[in-house]
Amino acid sequence: MECISIFDMLKIGVGPSSSHTLGPWRAGRRWIAELKKDNNFESVTSITVDLFGSLSLTGKGHATDIAVILGLCGYDPQTIDVSAISSIIDLITDSKELKFNNEFAVPFDPATQIIFNREFKDFHPNGMTFHATLKDNQKISSSFYSIGGGFVVKEERKRKEKKLEAFEYFPLPIQKATDLLAYCTDKKKKVSEIVLENERSLLNDQEIDERIAKVWDVMLESMYIGCHTEGTLPGGLNVRRRAFDTHKKLIGDTPYTSPKEWIEAIRNTEVKFRQILKWVSCFALAVNEVNASLGRVVTAPTNGSAGVIPAVMMYYMVIENHDANFDDVKQFMLVAGEIGSLFKKGATISAAMGGCQAEIGVSSAMAAGALTELMGGTPEQVLMASEIAMEHHLGLTCDPIGGLVQVPCIERNAMGAIKAINACEMALDTDAANAKVPLDKVIETMWETALDMNTKYKETSEGGLAIKVSLSDC
């Protein structure tokens, strides 16, 4: 049982991957905190990092080595100037020295001191071990695991009593969808209202609003930047950014000067029926093109699936309800975050554990449920929409070409967003009492499918499209 806030599911970070970039980045910062707690930090004279399994196999394409370095330097992924990342890495590579936690210099050659090991750790496919030599020549090490969505854990688990205590910290503890629905029925409240009660046990209303506003600001900014940036994505696949061209055709000559004015500009644009899908796809593509270029996005619930939720929220704001405001954004994020937490508790949000069904599938389910509540759906219909969205992503593999979060990842965000909207519409037109597949059952099925899936289809680039198309073909 876990106590998971919506802000655990919606984290602000840097692309291209929550498990391979944000996770290792945060692990580096956690290791520093660990060293300081043990009074070893100032004694460090050299550092080596071992990456294992999926972190190694697709680490270069996912910028895992860059993330590790930035974490060791003490940079915060929420606040770092992303435009400075390249110069920071170039300086370290050239000087063969990094400033440990931005406090003192340590010799460090990324080419030899970040080691890519193909073997997998038993605990989780995304394992990493940090090694340090101290002034007295003592050698110490610490291992971490990036389990998806930017979550980082140690292998040693807390005692069951501790976990139960943490879980009961929420006034309305929720482990399964049936728990959530029971609270909604008993209290005659929406899903968002139940979730808000739990969040209030962690933060006050002003703090909740401020954090949701920041999450939305980053989502909106990533859509805006993606729609206004042309060129080719880095990494060697020579993928041309498509959001720019699509957006230019759709927006025409409508004037605006900021992301918020942009929303009004789109609302004032005559959107024909066949353009709706283009707009939704454009929003999703934009976010993940930013993600693929080490830009700032919101893990929702992962970086690889970061485009689905903002695209669907934007769809509601510019297509369905031109009067939509922050209250709608807040309601949407509360529901989306809770749906995501159900999948994390009952299955996984790590592609290295479950394939892309754990990323795009989960994000589509989150968006479908959230949109359904905004569209007036009942709690039963909210859960039904989430189930429909995931049901049609079951078995989706993770097979990124060249280990890059580009092909097929970027397009899958557009498809996931469209499926979420479709799932919402089907749920709204259905008596949810007649649903044949409960959400909890599809979550269980997703996890069983993940366990059965061959490792080569789990973010290793050793199967599927990843071996049919190579960088040399591009």
121-136 pLDDT tens trace: 989 999 999 999 999 9
Residues in the chain where the model's pLDDT stays below 50: 158-166
415-426 pLDDT tens trace: 999 999 999 999
- Asked if residue 347 lies in contact with residue 450, where contact means CB atoms within 8 angstroms, the answer is yes
Place of tokens 């940036």: 229
- Asked if residue 247 lies in contact with residue 227, where contact means CB atoms within 8 angstroms, the answer is yes
* CA 136 to the chain's CA centroid: 41
In angstroms, the CA 83 to CA 40 distance is 33
Residues in the chain: 474
Position 161 scores a pLDDT of 43
In angstroms, the CA 60 to CA 83 distance is 19
Position 2 scores a pLDDT of 73
In angstroms, the CA 290 to CA 230 distance is 11
Position 163 scores a pLDDT of 45
- Asked if residue 1 lies in contact with residue 175, where contact means CB atoms within 8 angstroms, the answer is yes
Distances (CA, A) of 292 to 23, 408, 440: 16, 12, 32
In angstroms, the CA 301 to CA 279 distance is 22
Element (H or E) spanning 186, and its range?
helix 177-187
Position 157 scores a pLDDT of 53
Position 156 scores a pLDDT of 65
Position 155 scores a pLDDT of 84
**Contacting residues for 40 by C-beta, under 8 A, at least 6 apart:** 132, 134, 140
